[in-house]
Amino acid sequence: MLRQTRTLFVEEIWNPLSICAVPAFIFDEEANPRLTPAELSVYAVACMDAENPRSNCTFIRSMSELQKLTGFGDRETVNQATKNLVAKYFLRPSDRKLGSNEPQRYELMNPLTREGLSLDVTDKRNFQSLRSVLRHAGLGYFNVPTDVLRQMGQKSSAALALFVAADRCVNIARERDIEIRSAELRAMAGQDPKTFKRSMAEIHERWLLIGFTDTSSRMVFVSLIDPESGKLLDSFEWEQEQADEEARQKRYAEAIAKREHTAVDILAWAMWALRNSQPKPGTAANLMFACPICKNKKSHKHRFSVDPYKGHYGAYICYDCREGGALNKLIAEEYGFLESLTKLRSIRNEHPDLIAAAEALLRGRNADGEYNRAA
């Protein structure tokens, strides 16, 4: 059961999908639903809108919008569900001018205390999302993929109720694959056996992988998938990470290809500018010099680190004065922009001794600056 404790806030279960926080108090102490499927559908829209910090835990939707988002064809069903949420202290209507044609604005509430969740501030920069408000108040919540809520109109309200119940169990278990007693899951969804089986078939392979583990129908397995692709979330996350890494490597290769100068040229250039032909090796591909800014008076050691592999012209940071940035800007400040770049272009011809020293220091490293032990 999700209690009022920060230890049960699970953010990584649905990574890397976009998620929306749903308060745990939609279930009572016995894990029974406090809301009907219709009420849950409307409340899910409220939670999705309240995820935006600018809403300040409020939402404003017309009845036609709620019908479209929840999938109800009967306007009265949506209207009655909204009224019930107000009566149960899940929502509170805000004051509205007489004769106004604007849709009613509602504030999300804590039904246990009957207090609103909006922050009593006037500066919009201090507004917070529903997730932040619940976290700071110590109220339990679990995460629902926003893609599921956007597809809510395509499924029945009973299917949504079953998904939310299963999602709650997954968040509590902190696992993407779980087994649970069917009677327990059915009670959380508030469904009879017939509706339960129909809802399982509706969300299986669309929102979750869900089904009975054997012919006895006593146990149900639940596995998380990406609602868009239908892939298991572990596989989907791995593919996303691989794609991100490939894109990063491609961007890095393109940046290296655009470089006019090698890391050896840049290091030799740094030796010339910093007047030190024998810098000390640091961690990774960094070389340590005396800092031209603070002179390392604090540590009396060479703590000015130069990485000739970063950016187009190398990068630096001093671990004493914490100054850092692009190496070309630092050298340009000392020698002038034109002279510094002219020196870089001619460094191989004018200072072959510095080139030789730089080559010796960087020997055995690849184009990324990583050390090749076989070299």
Other Cβ atoms within 10 Å of 1 Cβ, number: 12
Out of 98-102, 264-268, 355-359, which region has the weakest mean confidence (pLDDT)?
A: 98-102
Could you tell me the pTM of the whole model?
0.67
**pLDDT average, residue stretch 336-365:** 91
Distance CA 344, CA 313 (A): 9
Kindly state the percentage of the chain with pLDDT values over 90: 66
Residue 145 in this model has a pLDDT that exceeds 80: yes
Distance CA 108, CA 121 (A): 16
| pLDDT tens column, 231-260 | 999 888 888 888 888 887 787 677 666 667
Please report, as a single letter, which amino acid is at residue 61: R
Domains and CATH numbers, the chain: 6-227 (no CATH), 259-362 (3.90.580)
Q: Are strands 315-318 and 304-307 parallel, antiparallel or unpaired?
A: antiparallel
**pLDDT average, residue stretch 266-292:** 91
**pLDDT average, residue stretch 185-204:** 96
pLDDT at residue 197, as a whole number? 96
Residue 293 in this model has a pLDDT that exceeds 80: yes
Question: What six digits make up the tokens of 280?
Answer: 């000390």
Residue 294 in this model has a pLDDT that exceeds 60: yes
pLDDT at residue 369, as a whole number? 61
Residue 3 in this model has a pLDDT that exceeds 50: no
The pLDDT confidence band at residue 226, using thresholds 50, 70 and 90, is: very high
pLDDT at residue 370, as a whole number? 64
The pLDDT confidence band at residue 155, using thresholds 50, 70 and 90, is: very high
Residue 374 in this model has a pLDDT that exceeds 60: no
pLDDT at residue 2, as a whole number? 38
pLDDT at residue 99, as a whole number? 60
Distance CA 252, CA 74 (A): 55
pLDDT at residue 268, as a whole number? 95
Residue 4 in this model has a pLDDT that exceeds 70: no
Question: What six digits make up the tokens of 178?
Answer: 């779980």
The larger pLDDT score, comparing residue 368 to residue 194, is at: 194
Other Cβ atoms within 10 Å of 231 Cβ, number: 13
pLDDT at residue 271, as a whole number? 95
**pLDDT average, residue stretch 172-181:** 92
Residue 32 in this model has a pLDDT that exceeds 90: yes
The pLDDT confidence band at residue 367, using thresholds 50, 70 and 90, is: low
Supply φ then ψ for residue 270, to 5 degrees: -65, -40
The overall average pLDDT reported for the chain is: 89
Out of 5-19, 80-94, 338-352, which region has the weakest mean confidence (pLDDT)?
A: 5-19
pLDDT at residue 284, as a whole number? 77
Place of tokens 């909006």: 118
Query: How would you write the chain as a 3-class SS string?
Result: CCCCCHHHCCCCCCCCCCEEEEEHHHECCCCCECCCHHHHHHHHHHHHHHCCHHHCCEEECCHHHHHHHHCCCCHHHHHHHHHHHHHCCCEEECCCCCCCCCCCEEEEEECCCCEECCCCCCCHHHCCCHHHHHHHHCCCEEEEEHHHHHCHHHCCHHHHHHHHHHHHHHHHHCCCEEEEEHHHHHHHHCCCHHHHHHHHHHHECCCEEEEECCCCCCEEEEEEECCCCCCEHHHHHHHHHHHHHHHHHHHHHHHHHHCCCCHHHHHHHHHHHHCCCCCEECCCCCEEECCCCCCCCCCCCCCEEEECCCCCCCEEEECCCCCEEEHHHHHHHHHCHHHHHHHHHHHHHHCHHHHHHHHHHHCCECCCCCECCCC
Other Cβ atoms within 10 Å of 97 Cβ, number: 7
Residue 7 in this model has a pLDDT that exceeds 50: no
Q: Which of 64, 69, 192, 54 is nearest to 123 (CA)?
A: 54
Residue 6 in this model has a pLDDT that exceeds 60: no
Residue 272 in this model has a pLDDT that exceeds 80: yes
Q: Which of 249, 247, 223 is nearest to 236 (CA)?
A: 223
**pLDDT average, residue stretch 191-216:** 95
Residues 6+ apart with CB under 8 A from 44: 22, 70, 144, 149, 152, 160, 164
pLDDT at residue 58, as a whole number? 92
Q: Please check whether residue 129 is in contact with residue 53, taking contact to mean a CB–CB distance below 8 angstroms.
A: yes
The side-by-side arrangement of strands in the sheet containing 219-224 is 177-181, 219-224, 208-212
| pLDDT tens column, 297-325 | 988 999 999 999 888 889 999 999 999 99
Q: Which of 342, 320, 321 is nearest to 331 (CA)?
A: 342
Place of tokens 């080139």: 355
Residue 371 in this model has a pLDDT that exceeds 60: no
| pLDDT tens column, 95-141 | 766 666 788 899 999 999 999 999 888 888 888 899 999 988 889 99
Does 281 sit behind a cis peptide bond, omega within 30 degrees of 0 on the bond before it?
no
